[in-house]
Amino acid sequence: MTCRCLALLLGLAWLMGLVLTAFPASAQPRSVVEGHVTAPDGRPLAYANVQIVGTLAGAATDTTGFFRFTAPQTGPHRLRSTSIGFAPTTRRVRLAPGDTVRVRLTLSAAPVALREATVTASAYTVRGTDATMGPLEAVTTPGAMGDLFRALQSFPGVAQAGDGAGLYVRGGDLSETKTLVDQATLRHPYRYESPAGGSFGTIRPFLAEGTTFSTGGFSAQYGDALSGVLAIDTKDRPDARRLRGNAGLAAVSVGVDAPLLEDRLGLRLSGNRSFTGVLFRLNGQNGDFETVPQGLDGTLSLTYDYASGQLKALSFARRNRMGVQTAEGAFRGLFRNRSTNQLHSLQWTAQRTGLWTGRTSVAYSRYGSREQFGALDLEPEEAAYQLRSDWDRALGPRSTLSGGVVAMREQSAFRGTFPAEPGQWDQAAARVTVDDRLAATRIGGYLEGDASLGERLRVIGGLRADHHTRAAQTTVDPRLAVEYQLSERTRARLAWGRFHQAPALETYAQHVGPNRLGAQQAQHAVATVRYQRGPLQLRLAGYLKPYRDLVVPTGEATYANAGSGIARGVDAFAKYGGFLETRLSGWAAYSFVQSRRTQVRQRGADVTLERGPAPFDFTHQFTAVGKMRVVDMLFAAGTVRHTTGRPITPVVGAVPQGDGTYAPIEGPVGSERLPAYRRLDLQLSYYIPLGPGQHLTVYAAVNNALDRANVIDITYAPDYRSRTEQTTSFRRSVYAGLTMTL
């Protein structure tokens, strides 16, 4: 109880500090410092930092470049101002009790190479933005461990399932969110894959130039996804030669940016070696590992710019392996996994000023793995070829017509064995042997219009069609959104759409029944209100998402579109400032969701279908992230998380089998819950500007600072007469590293 109270108090203290900083009280100061911060051309600089060196006294400028703060200090001091893209400047001031000191500070340009990634929650198209997260935001977010996917879990509508990096969006399954890189589908976006997605995401923050994350009601531009879309654009041609490096307790990476032809050709090359054994040994957490998670990955990007367009070639390759003692149901054994993943794409961007812009890409991806766990010994291999083209044309000053096509050829091979009955992992359990090769083609297209009607009303309407050969089905999905500007700072949006997603080829490989498996369907109805005033952003969204034709197991190696469900909830989000922009920054997110689905219930050898709380029905999730500049460029940060425990289906009995094993008799699906997941992560980081486009960030973190033994699963004895709570392997641990750009 003490740990719970401490975590709650820390979260409340941070929120109070956020409010007090956003709306300061009128104290009686000894002196007042006020003035303006401008660029060399005289334009005001918004959200620049102004601080008395060596103290906590300071403020951020408003949209007119004006700042004002009270200071208890007296005598001579140095006043320092900083802003992204400008060199810091310092001025000496003398403070006397009761005086008001007025200064004008001019910052000279010194660009720092920090690209932003845009996170769009509840947006209907990629054109709108609700919040931004740059690479440094991900690196400096406590608990994210420098990972983009983990940082995204702190936003509303995304549940954190245990310690994994999986994106569970608004009551949807992990597989319902698709990841795209430069228009190409990245089929396995996680490293060290697990039921919770994986420990980390594949794409590193500093490789991304723009990231659009849609959690509902997204554009007709995207298909084959029931819940969400994460679309990542990698960085374009570098404008200067730079060396990037990152070294931590779990990985070392290096990258090179090199302009090859002035204003034309540029190269980006990066490599990463992960070795989590050092981290686990330091924190005493490697006892269960036969092979600690480790891997190697590299990225090569070559970009050529010409007068009206761009060509970008991207190659990415990754190799991972791990072996860990784990438990599922009544079976405990060694889980081994090794995998390789690669993506190669060529993208052409063309633009005719004021008329149209288009992006066309061809891509090839390949994934192979071997998973071993009891009765499971499976070697899937997947390959995909993709052609995609998206075009936008301006029809006038306030309207746009967009459209596009996508064609994908998927090929999969499955060799090995898997349990004949769900959840029966024991070596002696009945198995199904597969040695199949499958192929499928998906062809899709869309057309969408975006028009502003008057000064306040905006309407977006689109239609999408997809055909999947394995499902032998053509789906047509209408989508519509209306946005209205209630005031200068407030907007409201209503969006509705229908979405289809074909089953994975792995499901077709395991299915031996005569019935054909068709596409699964969801509808999104989303209402959102957004408010922004200076560095303060507020958003409230409500949604309803009914499902139908979900694919569920119906027996031994048989499936059917016999499932249905519904997810509904509310997301609330508040964000203030930005890292290196305001002295105090951070965000708080709260999500309420109810997710009900058709699921399998085992009763000995029989399998029945029953509707109940889904395994990803995390009813309440609260996350607060706070970052404060302590002194100079030293920042302290903390993340508080609370998530309702996931529903589980308990085993209430067992039936002896002839081979000496037991078949479980399950109670009502989702009728019990694990204890709530709570975690406090703390981090210190020191940002050191080294020159134009050069900087060093040193950071140290304490993850799960309260050493909470969060329960992540329930396992049973072989006869199911007793059960044990499985707690997270990530207890209190320390992590440190540095990121450098030269």
**Residues 377-388 pLDDT 10s:** 888 899 999 999
Amino acid present at 542:
G
Q: Quick one: pLDDT at residue 127?
A: 35
Has residue 590 got a pLDDT over 90? Answer: yes
Has residue 121 got a pLDDT over 50? Answer: no
Q: 726-739: string of b/e by CB count within 10 Å (b at 16+)?
A: bebbbbebebbbbb
Secondary structure of residue 32 in the 3-state scheme: strand
Task: Categorize the per-residue pLDDT at 693 as very low, low, confident or very high, splitting at 50, 70 and 90.
Answer: low
The pair of three-digit structure tokens given for residue 107, joined into one six-digit string: 């910052």
If asked whether residues 87 and 163 sit together in one domain, one would say no
Considering 289-293, 400-404, 605-609, the range whose residues carry the highest mean pLDDT is 400-404
Has residue 402 got a pLDDT over 80? Answer: yes
Q: Quick one: pLDDT at residue 503?
A: 92
> What CATH number has the domain bearing residue 669?
2.40.170.20
Residue keyed to tokens 């029944």: 513
Task: Categorize the per-residue pLDDT at 8 as very low, low, confident or very high, splitting at 50, 70 and 90.
Answer: very low
What average pLDDT does the segment 121-149 reach? Answer: 58
The answer to the question of residue 674 being in a domain is yes
Residue keyed to tokens 């101002």: 81
If asked whether residues 493 and 549 sit together in one domain, one would say yes
The answer to the question of residue 112 being in a domain is no
What average pLDDT does the segment 581-597 reach? Answer: 89
Could you tell me what percent of the chain has a pLDDT over 70?
A: 85
Considering 159-173, 185-199, 280-294, the range whose residues carry the highest mean pLDDT is 159-173
If asked whether residues 527 and 588 sit together in one domain, one would say yes
If asked whether residues 81 and 181 sit together in one domain, one would say no
Q: What pLDDT, in 10s, does the model give residues 526-543?
A: 999 999 888 888 999 999
The beta strand positions in 174-330, using DSSP E, are 177-181, 184-186, 190-191, 200-201, 208-214, 228-234, 242-248, 251-261, 265-275, 289-306, 309-328
pTM of the model: 0.79
Residue from 114, 92, 89 nearest 37 by CA: 89
Phi/psi for 719 (5° steps) reads: -95, 5
If asked whether residues 280 and 342 sit together in one domain, one would say yes
Q: Quick one: pLDDT at residue 26?
A: 38
Q: Quick one: pLDDT at residue 30?
A: 63
The answer to the question of residue 191 being in a domain is yes
Q: Quick one: pLDDT at residue 143?
A: 78
Residue that is last in its domain, among 72, 106, 140: 106
Secondary structure of residue 483 in the 3-state scheme: strand
Amino acid present at 192:
Y
The answer to the question of residue 498 being in a domain is yes
Has residue 53 got a pLDDT over 80? Answer: no
Has residue 95 got a pLDDT over 80? Answer: yes
Q: Quick one: pLDDT at residue 253?
A: 86
If asked whether residues 515 and 465 sit together in one domain, one would say yes
The pair of three-digit structure tokens given for residue 82, joined into one six-digit string: 């900083």
Q: How many domains does the chain have?
A: 2
Distance, in Å, from the CA atom of 188 to the CA atom of 201, rounded to the nearest integer, reads: 9
pLDDT: which is higher, 339 or 211: 339
If asked whether residues 34 and 130 sit together in one domain, one would say no
If asked whether residues 328 and 438 sit together in one domain, one would say yes
The answer to the question of residue 111 being in a domain is no
pLDDT: which is higher, 279 or 313: 313
If asked whether residues 58 and 171 sit together in one domain, one would say no
Tell me the longest C-alpha to C-alpha distance in the chain: 91
The beta strand positions in 556-614, using DSSP E, are 558-576, 584-603, 606-613
The pair of three-digit structure tokens given for residue 471, joined into one six-digit string: 């499902």
Q: Quick one: pLDDT at residue 206?
A: 66
If asked whether residues 54 and 155 sit together in one domain, one would say no
- The 10 Å Cβ neighbour count of residue 145 is 26
Task: Categorize the per-residue pLDDT at 506 as very low, low, confident or very high, splitting at 50, 70 and 90.
Answer: confident
488: domain range? 117-741
Has residue 128 got a pLDDT over 90? Answer: no
Q: Quick one: pLDDT at residue 432?
A: 78
Q: Quick one: pLDDT at residue 385?
A: 96
Residue that is last in its domain, among 106, 133, 151: 106
> What CATH number has the domain bearing residue 28?
2.60.40.1120
Residue that is last in its domain, among 106, 137, 165: 106
If asked whether residues 101 and 189 sit together in one domain, one would say no
- CB contact set of 426 (below 8 Å; sequence gap of 6+): 330, 331, 374, 375, 661, 718
Secondary structure of residue 139 in the 3-state scheme: helix
If asked whether residues 428 and 504 sit together in one domain, one would say yes
What average pLDDT does the segment 427-436 reach? Answer: 78
Q: Quick one: pLDDT at residue 125?
A: 34
Q: Give the chain's mean pLDDT.
A: 82
What average pLDDT does the segment 503-522 reach? Answer: 88
Q: What pLDDT, in 10s, does the model give residues 328-367?
A: 767 778 888 888 999 999 999 887 655 678 899 999 999 9
Distance, in Å, from the CA atom of 576 to the CA atom of 578, rounded to the nearest integer, reads: 7
Has residue 126 got a pLDDT over 60? Answer: no
